[in-house]
Amino acid sequence: MTWGKKSTPSQRCSLINKWADLIEANIDSLAKVESVDNGKPVWMARDVDIKDSIGCLRYYAGLADKIEGRTIEQEEGIKIAFTKAEPIGVCGQIIPWNYPIQMFMWKVAPALAAGNTIVLKPAEQTPLSALRLAELALEAGFPPGVLNVVNGTGAITGLAISRHMDIDKIAFTGSTVTGRKIMEAASKSNLKKVTLELGGKSPVVVFDNVDIDQTANWVCMAILFNHGQDCCAVSRLFVQETIKDKFFEVLKRKIEEIEIGDPAMETTFMGPLVSRQQQEKVKKYIQHGLEEGAVCLTGGVEKLSHLPEKFKDGFFVPPTVYTNCKKGMKIVDDEIFGPVLAVQTFKTEEEAVQLANDTAYGLGAGVFSQNASQCMRMVHALKAGTVWCNQYMVLSNAVPFGGMKQSGFGRELGIEGLKEYTQTKACAAFCDVQNPTHPHTRVSTQIRPATAGTVRNGVLH
């Protein structure tokens, strides 16, 4: 079922923009809900996640009336062919707990702009903001049944969506393990279309010609933003040997200046992780790093001792940086999804490429160099869906985002994200039906029923 066939593109554009207006009017209350649900600072939810989500809605509202097909040259005046992009139908969408509102919009906005209906499951850890967004969608005027939010666990509700015979597409953001299960369920049901944005173990390569202070700022943000609970978090850092001592010194200082504490405070950069389970998982990886021979530059669980007493039982994990890391260590190979950074050094550009690509994942990567040619060589060499140069995790709603290798397939954002929610229909038409001498007419008459007339010499009379 689609609502695209019962609404015009301009109507969809208007509704999506009205929804964006309502979200903007409720931004402060939504930010508090997001912070309570997820643990991120209120300012981060308000000024980054929700503002970007409003921009995402407006971007796709602008594309709703720009969905186009194309004509294909055939025989002038005789045959014509064209394509049209149609909505897929009912789209199942399963979103993660790290960016509940943002991931909601990355999936819902293009699907609605294309005219699909939606069954969306938020993560069981963070169900509240999705319900509030759905309320605002109804208030904006979306017909009941167009956007449906269904809460539940992944093992029950998520699996039911993946297996449902009347759901035509599934879009999922989450772990690679769960992505495999969704693909299996889709293949064993109705072969629904699938797009997956999965895990990452993103590398950043720092060459010795950089501004060390500025680059350390970027690295600090890239591993600690959202508490490291980001599929693109810089969890592997490669620093050229000639600057390692100075770079480590500056990075350590900047990380230790990060304020950890109450997410309601405007000065807090890191609040608690999303759950006790996630906290325990990250703490185990911190312990693995020590056991496997890495050197702790800063952090470690004991670093939390300075927190006020009221935070002692919270789900906090200190930013932790390990040096002397190598392939085979759990902190190098596994997606941790927390503020833990594994650092290695390299001598040459070729070695940096080999180290950076030595992972099963391929979601994001970063390069810091003042040599533009070197940056472009690295862009071509790194196997990742997005490569940032001299910045990191700076996203635009107009730029497609997605993974390579075991980080998934399909794209979100940009025009590519809209196309993921359409399917192409081709039309081939024969225009010159009154011309009895045309060879196509002569062939077609030979297969008509006898009751349609008499065929003599290949021509219908």
Name residues whose C-beta falls within 8 Å of residue 72's C-beta, 6 or more positions apart in sequence. Answer: 81, 82, 83
- Backbone angles phi and psi of 93, in degrees to 5: -135, 130
Query: Do residues 3 and 143 lie in contact, with contact meaning Cβ atoms separated by under 8 Å?
Result: yes
Q: Which of 86, 135, 139, 197 is catalytic?
A: 197
Spatial contact of 171 and 135, defined as CB atoms under 8 Å apart: no
Neighbours of 164 (CB within 10 A): 18
Is 139 among the catalytic positions?
A: no
Tell me the catalytic residues.
Answer: 197
